[in-house]
Amino acid sequence: MAWDFSTEPEFQEQLDWVEEFCRTEIEPLDLVFPGAAYSRDPKAKALADPLKQQVKDRGLWALFLDRELGGPGFGQLKLALLNEILGRYRSAPVIFGTAAPDTGNMEMLAAYGTDEQKRRWLYPLMNQEIFSAYSMTEPQGGSDPSLFQTHAARDGQEWVINGEKWFTSAGARADIIFVMCTNGMFVVPRETPGVEVMEYPALHNHIRYTDVRVPLDHLLGPEDGAKVLAQRRLGGGRIHHAMRTVAQVKLAFDMMCERALSRESHGKVIADHQMVQEAIAESYAEINMLRLLVLWTAWTIDNSSTREARTQIAACKYTCAKVLREVSYRALHIMGSLGTTNLTPLQGMWASAPTMAILDGVDEVHKVTVARNVLKSYEPHPGLWPTEYIPAKREEARKKYASLLAADPDLSAWADHAARATARGH
Ligand SMILES: Cc1cc2nc3c(=O)[nH]c(=O)nc-3n(C[C@H](O)[C@H](O)[C@H](O)COP(=O)(O)OP(=O)(O)OC[C@H]3O[C@@H](n4cnc5c(N)ncnc54)[C@H](O)[C@@H]3O)c2cc1C
């Protein structure tokens, strides 16, 4: 029987180690030296690098990459189980070499890069010797790629890029930027003349590219292939976000349950009030629905491809935003006034729910994708009645019993009576 919801013991051991490591090593680092894991400061690196080394020694570095590319080759299902732990801790993804936006960019490089491009950019990215960003969205509109204008013109042995991008996460500190142009995906070193990072927004950068010249071999994948590469990149990124969201909503749920058992109001612990119980029960069901959707999608990717799983990935994308919104709100509410402060993770989690509904494509666009793809396996019914119109189906079914009904008038009368009785119900 192939349906199995258990984890093999050897991998469970790895998960247990990761849980313990995150709790005893990563969480204290996050609390005392926030941002150290991302920093290039030598003192911060001296704190974070030994943790990264422990992860490497354990064979858990760059979890999302296949074995031939230097990752452990676990596949997406195991990655989902690991991300259910990592997603709880702010810098766990970077300590494990699986942080966005680098992961998606690495997947794109792994899938489309030449050997030379992989040598130059993929392996240094894997080792966090360099960091990257992804420049796709433009100020005039992000949801519709047909509105994008950034273009690369060929001039001798170089491409000359002109355009303007908006909300390039970590663009200001990236060494290389993957720039989506109308005619291809280009790798642009940030220090290249003509790359101008604006002052605002601080984290997700507004960048102007003015006569930016890169050599011909900085085109990634085929000319005019940017949309295909973007789908490859964003598909992976979306499912990884959904995996980490499962971790976040479980954290919110744990906080909600602990609090429900710890406070009293009107003569009983608040866990005994039915509306609190409803919040817990709804959250429990929603978290598990999301989790199963994410695991099923990961399993589908492992058994086919990101492309084959695109409808499921799109469903994960808006479902994770919705469950994050619902569960973090309920947890914050049950925490009372403390929940509205930044003294617990809940306020940040609640604030991140609208962000989750926008990043990697707004929910509306993903819902359209799901509806369109799902509808491809349906057809309109012929004639006036839907396929499930019972009188028509019954007439059809009676043909199967035609000789029996003709031979037995009592049975025929019984069938007529039963049909009328059923119809009278409405
Ligand atoms: C935290 C974060 C990180 C990001 N990182 C990056 C990054 O690294 N690189 C990058 O290139 N981009 C990045 N983005 C940008 C992101 O991809 C865009 O914000 C997103 O694609 C939406 O584009 P927009 O903001 O221009 O919104 P718009 O396209 O203007 O959409 C705004 C609203 O219009 C409505 N709408 C739009 N289209 C439709 C439709 N087809 N049907 C129904 N309603 C619709 C929706 O209500 C939507 O929310 C990031 C965004 C966030 C929030």
List, for residues 347-362, the tens digit of each pLDDT value: 999 999 999 999 999 9
Q: Is the dihedral of CA 4, 5, 9, 15 positive or negative?
A: positive
Please say if the pLDDT value at position 426 is more than 60.
Answer: no
C-alpha radius of gyration, the chain, whole number: 27
Mean pLDDT of the chain: 95
Residues within 6 Å of ligand 1 by CB: 101, 134-137, 141-143, 167-169, 204, 355, 358-359, 361-362, 364-365
Q: What are phi and psi of 219, to 5 degrees?
A: -80, 130
Q: Is residue 401's pLDDT more than 80?
A: yes
pLDDT band, residue 425 (cuts 50/70/90):
low
- Taking CA atoms only, the protein residue closest to ligand 1 atom 7 is 168
Please write the tens of the pLDDT for every residue from 131-176: 999 999 999 989 999 999 999 999 999 999 999 999 999 999 999 9
* pLDDT class of 232 with cuts at 50, 70, 90: confident
- Å from CA of 397 to ligand 1 middle: 51
- Taking the centre of ligand 1 as the mean of its atom positions, its distance from the CA of residue 248, in whole angstroms, is 22
The pLDDT of residue 73: 86
Largest CA distance in the chain: 94
Least confident of 13-22, 227-236, 299-308: 227-236
**Helices 346-356 and 226-262, packing angle to 10 deg:** 150
CA distance 198 to 166: 10
- What pLDDT was estimated at residue 185? 98
Distance in Å, CA 144 to ligand 1 centroid: 9
Distance from Cα 111 to the centre of ligand 1, integer Å: 25
C-alpha span between 401 and 110 (Å, rounded): 61
Q: Which residue minimizes the CA distance to atom 18 of ligand 1?
A: 142
pLDDT at residue 182 greater than cutoff 80: yes
Greater model confidence, 347 or 420:
347
Pocket-testing residue among 148, 150, 167, ligand 1, by greatest number of atoms within 8 A of Cβ: 167
Q: Which of the four pLDDT bands, split at 50, 70 and 90, describes residue 235?
A: confident
Query: Atom 45, ligand 1: which residue's CA is nearest?
Result: 364
Ligand 1 centroid from CA 167, angstroms: 9
Q: pTM for this structure?
A: 0.93
